[in-house]
Amino acid sequence: MNLKSEPAKPPGPKPVIKQWVDQYNKQEQEAIINSTAVTKENSSEIDALINSLYASDGPITTFIKKSLYQQILPQSHALIIVQGDDLVNKLEFARVASSILNKFIDSKTIICSNEDNVEIQTLTCGSPLVVNKALQGLCDFVTDGIKIKTDIDINTLIISGVSSKLSEINFEDLMRNNRTFNLNLGVYNG
């Protein structure tokens, strides 16, 4: 497919522009319509481009949808404070929850920690109220799965519009600390 753009040739002399449609006679209307019509050769290229862009939920469609969401919806920051007895369990919860938040609501996440505290910094498209409800629902989903599979209690507190003051944890450190919860949630489990 040749997507090279070339300037279009003018269709002929510029017609006299009238103020109202009914001022044009039938021949003038047909001439204007015919001069601006899409030709068959251009139409097939345009149709091919549209079909390739809007293919069934491919990566291009996903990219276009994300781009539209980011333009239309506000960006909401939220902080998820992870509470539990063991640092390793809290870090593993944060890893699993981050993966699910990214997969299901396209939330950008950063896991932060110091010696005992674990927080997840999120940036998600949507109003703060809607984002907080989605974050809470998905965090509850993960905590319930962990409780059922391992009998470990993890709780979360979500605060809108707040940034973490803890240090960011890089992925390699998080994987070294890995304790797989084997939740069978259809996402990465380590």
| Residue 8 counted as domain residue | no
| Mean pLDDT of all residues belonging to the chain | 77
Q: Percent of the chain, pLDDT > 70?
A: 69
| Residue 7 counted as domain residue | no
What's residue 168's pLDDT?
A: 87
41: its two tokens: 């050769």
Q: Does one domain contain both 44 and 112?
A: no
What is the arrangement of strands in the sheet containing 118-125, beginning at the earlier edge strand?
154-160, 75-84, 118-125, 108-113, 167-168
Q: Does one domain contain both 83 and 157?
A: yes
Q: Does one domain contain both 44 and 95?
A: no
Lowest mean pLDDT among 8-17, 146-155, 176-185: 176-185
| Residue 16 counted as domain residue | no
Q: Does one domain contain both 85 and 58?
A: no
Q: Does one domain contain both 82 and 150?
A: yes
pLDDT exceeds cutoff 50 at 188: no
Closest alpha carbon to 90 in 109, 110, 116, 123: 116
pTM value surpassing 0.85: no
Q: What is the pLDDT of residues 107-123, one digit of tens each?
A: 999 999 988 899 999 99
**Domain's final residue, options 69, 103, 133:** 69
Q: Does one domain contain both 92 and 39?
A: no
What's residue 126's pLDDT?
A: 85
| Residue 10 counted as domain residue | no
Q: Does one domain contain both 104 and 37?
A: no
Region 10-27: what's the mean pLDDT? 74
What's residue 112's pLDDT?
A: 93
What's residue 135's pLDDT?
A: 93
Instruction: Tell me which residue range forms the domain holding 29.
Output: 21-69
| Residue 2 counted as domain residue | no
Q: Does one domain contain both 130 and 58?
A: no
d(CA 39, CA 46): 11
What's residue 179's pLDDT?
A: 56
**Residue 132 is part of a domain; what is its CATH number?**
3.30.70.600
Helix axis angle for 87-105 and 128-150, nearest 10°, is: 130
Q: Does one domain contain both 90 and 31?
A: no
Out of 19-33, 45-59, 137-151, 172-186, give the one with best mean pLDDT. 137-151
Select the more confidently predicted residue: 178 or 76.
76
